[in-house]
Amino acid sequence: MKKAYDTILLDLGGVLIDVDYHASAKAFRALGHPDFDKLYSKAQQDHLFDGFETGALGPAEFRDRIRQVLNMDLSDAVIDSSWNAMLGTIPQERIALVEGLRQHYQVLLLSNTNAIHVPAFTAIVAQENGIKDFKGLFEGAYYSCEIGLRKPDAAAFGHVLERHDADPTRTLFIDDSEQHVVGARSAGLHAEHLDLVQEDILGLCERLDLL
């Protein structure tokens, strides 16, 4: 039987790497800002974070804005540590899943992320999984802060697919954020919402019989 898809496009946070979206807010609250979680949440972000994710703000500008928000003179290291507190690890079985998917599909990555998180999770994967070239796990890996586009905008999906000659009607996108799934479908892709309360990426791939 002919495969339904030629290309699998994966999200990173929540899908591959474990993320606690409240941990950074908790870390900043511990520094003395009780309402920081109002500025950052998984579903709706303050424009400060949007700009950081698209590269409109660089790390230095972002840190300065955080100091303004908190009205505290924090070092770069303290800000980075608190901001990176949300990042967990990638279980080895998810690495194996990506490698397995690549036997059958063109596997791509598209992540809304920023220039402080990128080196942090790259270091985590190098230390925990022994992988020095994380992007090398995929035929193509794209970070919003590097391409200047972010999900759920159709342009972000188009940017990735065009570079790999991928037909959106033959592409499956997997993300744990419903708004990104809606955006992908609007851009013509097939898309599955990974409900992390119900299953993980391994369970979803098994349920969809992707391997």
Quick one: pLDDT at residue 37? 66
Residue 2: predicted pLDDT? 55
Q: Which domain holds residue 56?
A: 23-86
Could you tell me if 168 and 201 lie in one domain? yes
Structure tokens at 116: 């402080």
Q: What is the CATH number of the domain that holds 47?
A: 1.10.150.240
Query: 45, 38 in Cβ contact below 8 A?
Result: no
Considering 55, 86, 117, which residue would you say is the last residue of a domain? 86
The count of structural domains within the chain is 2
Q: d(Cα 151, Cα 172) in Å, to the nearest integer?
A: 15
pLDDT at residue 39 in the model: 63
pLDDT value at position 69?
79
pTM: 0.93
Between CA 69 and CA 88 the distance in angstroms is 25
Q: Is residue 2 part of a domain?
A: no
| Same domain for 177 and 103 | yes
Beta-carbon contacts of residue 186 (< 8 Å; ≥ 6 apart): 152, 154
Residues whose CB is less than 8 angstroms from the CB of residue 131 and which lie 6 or more positions away in sequence, other chains included: 95, 125, 137
- pLDDT tens digits in sequence order for the chain, 211 residues long: 458 999 999 999 999 999 998 898 889 888 887 777 666 654 345 678 888 999 999 999 999 988 887 888 999 999 999 999 999 999 999 999 999 999 999 999 999 999 999 999 999 999 999 999 999 999 999 999 999 999 999 999 999 999 999 999 999 999 999 999 999 999 999 999 999 999 999 999 999 999 8
Q: Is the dihedral of CA 7, 11, 12, 15 positive or negative?
A: negative
| Cα 89 to Cα 84: distance, rounded to the nearest angstrom | 12
What SS3 class is residue 29?
helix
